[in-house]
A = this chain, B = another copy of it.
Amino acid sequence: MSSKALDYENLNENIKKCQYAVRGELYLRASELQKEGKKIIFTNVGNPHALGQKPLTFPRQVIALCQAPFLLDDPNVGLIFPADAIARAKQFLGMTSGGLGAYSDSRGIPGVRKEVAEFIERRDGYPSDPELIFLTDGASKGVMQILNSIIRGPSDGILVPVPQYPLYSASIQLLGGSLVPYYLEETANWGLDINDLRQSVAKARYKGITVRAMVIINPGNPTGQCLSVANLKQIIQFCHQENLVLLGDEVYQQNIYQDERPFISARKVLLDMGLPLSKEVQLVSFHTVSKGYWGECGQRGGYFEMTNIPPKAVEEIYKVASISLSPNVPGQIFMGLMVNPPKPGDISYDQYVRESKGILESLRRRAHMMTDGFNSCRNVVCNFTEGKSPVSFLFSAMYSFPQIRLPPRAIETANKLGKAADVFYCLRLLEATGISTVPGSGFGQKEGVFHLRTTILPAEEDMPAIMESFKKFNDEFMEKYEDHKGYSRM
């Protein structure tokens, strides 16, 4: 029997090379343990509903009515649906020809793209053009499509923050490009240093790589920081000088749990900077219904907005979107609802605000519980100020990314087992407690520095027990692998 195209050894090498840690070794082991009957706390993926977050009522009412438009003619519909949900469903159905069962335009329903443009204008203070907004099946699909337009081969480089969300490393590998890392500085609230950026580009160039785009994740995943305006300005200036497309992954823009540093979009900062930059720097910004307090991951709704991309390139991106016909239409409706939720005076307004606030405030409390919990553990440090004393308020997104200071003997033991030290630690944590995290090496980290990423999503009432179980494991682990004289905590 000779070997075939779908035998492992014959697969596209880019597929074999690419790695995706969020659902990698740890996740697979967790799934195995679950099958064997162990209770697993899946904190590896930002998947709020899977951990018990309830969906917001209003959008679900609207989408239910859009899915079952015959209910709109049912005399009893008013008994179980509020009038504003009914009105909104009719409005969405009026935007489509054929409802949720018909392919939309490949860029998404024009009426929803208009709602997105209005949202962006309210947020940034500058008008946005619906023709430059494409709806997508979640933000990931949009990111992959734009990277596919940019990457032509291994000498095309994309600047990606380290630590980074592995969507970027995986997609760049899959598309056969080169990832050019730049490091976020843990001791400076995970900000970035423009001089480091310059060095990264120079190093890449030396290897024959042309850097063509730069990814920022703001608020950061897994690092949870909000970039400052000053930092964003430097980045934009840098992209202008180096002729880079800026890719702004802004999917956590709703997830801000501190007031000191609000989210500001890359687009607002760019347009505030005025000419020539505001007309010259190419920017693509991404958003989603999966994160925020909506957490509607399973619906796969997202969009990207293009700034300063010439019409002929937009047309090509449209053409490629056409090949898979259209993003899923229910996900598009969710996006329309997210950017244009109930307004004061609407019947559902109070409930919508109460539910949204409830989720966001609980996330904020959980963020604090988790950060404080980690900071109380031996050799675990979560977030720094410049003075290096741990603080918990600089926190956005939906993750905690504590540094784990592994004793040399733990690192040696891991090496002997052929595992990265953080993978070894996270596997032990999983086996001991059922907590399924992602080792920091999946996101990239500096040599000799170890982290883990966990979501802050377990139910609030479960959080104390989870943190206690973590602490017990960690302190035993440290006890076991530390030298007798002890391993000093910085």
Contacts and interface: CB of A to CB of B under 8 A. Distances in A.
A5 B100 contact: no
Contact of A144 (B102, B245, B322, B324): B324
Interface in A207-233: 212-213
Given A6-B150, A298-B102, A328-B298, A67 B76 contact: no
B20 A323 contact: yes
A320 interface: yes
Contact of A6 (B99, B149, B320, B324): B149
A45 to B, nearest CB: 6
A306 B217 CA distance: 37
A297 B324 CA distance: 11
A50 B467 CA distance: 52
B103 A167 contact: no
How many copies of the shown chain assemble into the complex?
A: 2
Given A5-B213, A298-B104, A328-B298, A98 B49 contact: yes
A63 B47 CA distance: 21
Interface in A1-21: 1-8, 10-13, 15-16, 18-20
Q: Which of A63, A282, A330 has the most CB of B within 10 A?
A: A330
Chain B CB within 10 A, most for which of A50, A295, A328: A328
A60 B50 contact: no
A170 interface: yes
Nearest to A315: B8
Given A20-B322, A63-B67, A101 B299 contact: yes
Interface residues of A, number: 104
A167 B323 contact: yes
A325 interface: yes
A51 interface: yes
Contacts of A327: 300
A447 to B, nearest CB: 26
Interface stretch (A123-131, A133-141, A388-396, A448-456): A133-141
A380 interface: no
Contacts of A296: 101
Given A5-B213, A60-B67, A149-B12, A18 B245 contact: no
A112 to B, nearest CB: 12
B323 A140 contact: yes
A12 B67 contact: no
A209 to B, nearest CB: 13
Interface string A92-117: 00001111111110100000000000
Contacts of A74: 80
Would you list the 10 A-B pairs with minimal beta carbon distance, nearest first? A298-B329, A49-B98, A49-B101, A50-B98, A5-B212, A64-B68, A50-B102, A8-B312, A300-B328, A23-B322
Interface of A: 1-8, 10-13, 15-16, 18-20, 22-23, 45, 47-53, 55, 57, 60-61, 63-65, 67-71, 74, 76-77, 79-80, 96-104, 106, 137-138, 140-141, 144, 146, 148-152, 156, 167, 170-171, 174, 212-213, 243-245, 276, 280, 282, 284, 290, 295-300, 306, 309-310, 312-313, 316, 319-320, 322-331
12 contacts: A1-B276, A3-B243, A5-B212, A5-B244, A11-B150, A15-B316, A47-B103, A67-B67, A141-B324, A171-B323, A297-B325, A330-B330
